[in-house]
Amino acid sequence: MTVRTRFAPSPTGYLHVGGARTALFSWLYARKHAGRFVLRIEDTDLERSTQASVDAILEGMAWLGLDADEGPIFQADRFDRYKEVIGQLLEKGLAYRCNCPRERLDSLRDEQMRNKQKPRYDGRCRNADVSADEPHVIRFRTSNAGETVIDDLVRGRVVVPNAELDDLIIQRTDGSPTYNLTVVVDDMDMRISHVIRGDDHLNNTPRQMHIIRALGGEPPRYAHVPMILGDDGARLSKRHGAVSVMQYKRDGYLPEALLNYLVRLGWSYGDQEIFSIKEMIELFEISGINRAPSAFNTEKLRWLNQHYIKATPKDRLAELLRPFLDERGVDTVSGPDLAEVAEVMKERASTLVEMAEDCAYFYRDWDALDAKAAKKHLRPAALEPLRRIREALASLSDWRPETIHEVIEATAETLGVGMGKIGMPLRVAVTGGGASPAIDQTVWLIGRDASLRRIEKALKFIEERVANA
């Protein structure tokens, strides 16, 4: 049997991390078994579905690298097929028209709730002769006898008495098909062998199995994945921070970091934390998915992201970083090679946003000094060291980190002071703040002209400070 999985989001919003994890599990299972991964857009809710949401889903999937073998397939293009199936069910007596008014159904539900019964349709129209010309819905005729057994690949054996199931609506009054009908027809027609989805769909599964069998098909294997919780134990939502996949991109996360985090969010392989895509495919098994919900931990995601930033080759890291600098109005064309800047900065940042904010000084002079750093390091005692180092750097013909380091060392030795008495005032002078990579690399990348110009500005700052003292 060829393994065929699917990811079937509704285009009523962005691609959230819960959906992305489901897509990842489905994609990995198909890849591991040399199968096919199908992307299906469930857009039968025409009022709520939007093209913007479709675009957001496709953009998120592309950014994560979860490429589909088939699709995207849109349910809205398959209405004729759903209508055909509903007609077959009506013809075989496996579905019927129902004209019960909303008021009756609401009253029935209220009464059942008061009696502590599970709300369900009472089958009033099962044997009624409802005309196709009057307003009506179409219901599937569910067998009340026996039970439905779901051999779930995550939750194990789940048994549902059929008496608990009602005759669900498969076509609305406006003629549009409902989710439980369309998903069954699609899974059959697309020969889906394994359905990996959130456990909020578990209640739908026995109903869908009844419809599949009524159509002469065999249900796929199901794996219902527990939900994702926030740090506080509540279901993950916007109040816990970013939940949209593309927001993580905007926040400076790498796609491989988010994938690595999501695969470990509810699945494990021993104590291993870091997984390449190749390892995920080789090692992933549905049996490794936990039954209990998993809590989202942003700090762990940041740790993973820092790992992947460090491991990313400098040329690719530069291309990832460039848009974040562009957003901040930092012109990287006339300054140092961005790949070299990324290389020296990647040990110091958890996200690309942090890196972009921290490395702007490589490309533009500071307008104002960091007050704390200036107060501590640009004191009157720093005047002579800064003057000496400026002279030495101005006369340096071989501009490399090694020769810059030698100049700093020689200046410190000449003045009889420690390296810190030279390095820290120099760092504040050229960057405007008190933190940077190694000072020799920092000065090298900033360049001769910019470094000398900024040191001169720092000297004037100290002189004014002395004059106003």
DSSP secondary structure letters along 250-318: HTT--HHHHHHHHHHSSB-STT-----HHHHHHH--GGGB-SS-EE--HHHHHHHHHHHHHHS-HHHHH
Tokens 């420690």 found at: 418
- Model-wide pTM > 0.85: yes
Q: CA-to-CA distance for 46 and 174, rounded, in angstroms? A: 11
Pair 260, 281: CB distance under 8 Å: no
| Partner residues linked to 223 by β-bridges | 196
- CB under 8 Å to 235, separation ≥6 — which residues? 227, 228, 229
Mean pLDDT by 10 residues, the chain (469 residues): 95 92 98 98 87 95 98 96 98 97 93 91 93 96 95 97 94 94 98 96 96 96 93 69 85 98 94 96 95 92 98 97 96 94 96 96 95 94 95 95 96 92 96 95 97 97 85
- CB under 8 Å to 446, separation ≥6 — which residues? 336, 361, 362, 430, 431, 454
Residue type, 278: K
Average pLDDT of the chain is: 94
Say which of 92, 238, 372, 460 is annotated catalytic: 238
Q: CA-to-CA distance for 244 and 57, rounded, in angstroms? A: 10
- Residue 402, Cβ neighbours under 10 Å: how many? 9
| Partner residues linked to 271 by β-bridges | none
- CB under 8 Å to 80, separation ≥6 — which residues? none
Token pair for residue 456?
A: 């001169």
Instruction: Give the model's pLDDT for residue 233.
Output: 74
Residue type, 104: R
Q: How far, in Å, are 33, 222, 379, 409, 418 from residue 414 at the CA level? A: 69, 76, 20, 9, 10
* 460 annotated active-site: no
DSSP-assigned letter for residue 177: B
Instruction: Give the model's pLDDT for residue 404.
Output: 97
